[in-house]
Amino acid sequence: MVRAAVLPAVGSPLEITDIELPEPGPGRVRVRLTAAGVCHSDLSLSDGTMRVPVPAVLGHEGAGTVVSVGEGVTHVAPGDGVVLNWAPSCGTCHHCGIGEVWLCANALAGAADIHARTADGRELHPGLNVAAFAEETVVAAGCVIPAPEGIPLAEAALLGCAVLTGWGAVHHSARVREGESVAVFGAGGVGLATLQSARIAGASTIVAVDVSPEKEQLARDAGATEFVLASDTTAKEIRRLTGGQGADVAIECVGRATTIRTAWESTRRGGRTTVVGIGGKDQQVTFNALEIFHWGRTLSGCVYGNSDPARDLPVLAGHARAGRLDLAGLVTDRIGLEDIASAFDNMRTGRGGRALILFGQE
């Protein structure tokens, strides 16, 4: 039996309980978690913004050590450090065939599987495939990537979601060029990774926007040259900070209709607005036909940073080893599994950056 955070039903608080995992069958890997990041997507799963079968073990950003492997698994072995990949590509669907692995049609097929059972026999699903809010997990072989050398496993956990998403938003979706101005909305875990990625890309003016004044120093440490406290005049303030034009690129990491609209209005004529945040289907963003023509802006969604983990993790590891990417700087709280409720509360109220669960620290 291992300890895990279980979502019993949509809208219910997480329960910390013992679960029983199966031994890894063919093509499966058992991993002992070192750390798991608490991502806003986990909150979106718990409140029903995103739908997965329940009850489920949540958690999708993690790293740990391989305990055992099933038949046919050859790319990792017991004792290897691994990063969890919550969206493994199938390699056979239309999107995989054209190189858009982040849109794989079958990436979340495993979320419907039976992952484990509670002590009283309840069947549990694996959330976003990997069920990282647990001391150990059993996942498909495609959900584990060998951990990069020279990166502490606890910090490597962040590579599995926050950093891949922020990096990809800058480099793959918005395609920020050296010297451009960038506005980043939201200074949580993904937002801080986006700010660091904009700095690495050589952006000139980097504006961080957040509702919490306490996040200013976090944002500046990540690379922001300016900080704007979110208000009704945010777009006007960003235009003032960018020579009256607006940002070349605005990246929204919140997932709210009002923030998406403000990011759009903060983007210069002909600029690019990228939406990373996951909003609910009731969040309606409206545009009129004339403004779309007049402003000539591009509005695009961004799934998992439009990233390919196999391609991008070695690049990110190189930046981390060289000191350009500060993984530890993304972490604002190091907690135990029993403290996960407080991490969820902080996300609801916009406090903090990334909380990192360190297993064995309760």
What CATH number should be reported for the domain holding residue 202?
A: 3.40.50.720
Look at the chain and report how many structural domains it folds into.
Answer: 2
Residue 9 lies in a domain: yes
- Asked if 214 and 120 sit in the same domain, the reply is no
pLDDT digits (tens, 9 = 90+) for 153-171: 999 999 999 999 999 999 9
The verdict on 52 and 181 lying in the same domain is no
Task: With respect to residue 145, please indicate whether it lies within any of the assigned structural domains.
Answer: yes
pLDDT band at 49 (very low <50, low <70, confident <90, very high): confident
DSSP secondary structure letter of residue 21: P
Q: What's the mean pLDDT in 260-265?
A: 98
Q: Are residues 154 and 179 in the same domain?
A: no
Residue 67 placed within a domain = yes
Q: What percent of the chain has pLDDT over 90?
A: 90
Does position 352 have pLDDT exceeding 80, yes or no? no
Is 182 inside a domain boundary? yes
Task: Encode pLDDT of 6-35 as tens digits.
Answer: 999 998 999 999 999 999 999 999 999 999
Pair (186, 256) in one structural domain: yes
Verify that 6 and 150 share a domain, yes or no.
Answer: yes
Q: Which of 288, 303, 318 is the last residue of a domain?
A: 303
Collapse the DSSP code of 113 into the 3-class scheme (helix H, G, I; strand E, B; otherwise coil) and give the result. coil
Statement: residue 281 has pLDDT above 60: yes
**Do 171 and 156 belong together in one domain?**
no
Q: Residues 176, 292: one domain?
A: yes
> Domain for residue 309, yes or no?
no
pLDDT band at 362 (very low <50, low <70, confident <90, very high): very low
Clarify whether residues 132 and 9 are in a common domain: yes
Model confidence, pTM: 0.95
Q: Same structural domain for residues 224 and 297?
A: yes
DSSP E strands in 8-91: the ranges are 15-20, 28-38, 56-57, 61-69, 81-84
- For the stretch 228-255, pLDDT in tens is 999 999 999 999 999 999 999 999 999 9
Sign of CA dihedral 112, 89, 187, 300: negative
What is the rounded CA–CA span in Å between residue 241 and residue 222?
19
Structural domain including 255 reads 166-303
Residues 266 and 191 in one domain: yes
Same-domain status, 237 and 347 = no
11 and 135: one domain? Answer: yes
Establish if 38 belongs to a structural domain: yes
What single-letter DSSP state applies at residue 138? E
- Express each pLDDT in 82-131 by its tens digit: 999 999 999 999 999 999 999 999 999 999 999 999 989 999 999 999 99
What confidence tens digit (pLDDT) does each residue in 186-225 have? 999 999 999 999 999 999 999 999 999 999 999 999 999 9
Determine the average pLDDT of the residues in 62-81: 97
Please give the pLDDT value at position 50: 83
- Please tell me the distance from the alpha carbon of residue 239 to that of residue 237, in angstroms, as a whole number: 5
Q: What CATH number does the domain containing 111 carry?
A: 3.90.180.10
Considering the domain boundaries, does residue 315 fall inside one? no
Answer yes or no: is 308 within a domain: no
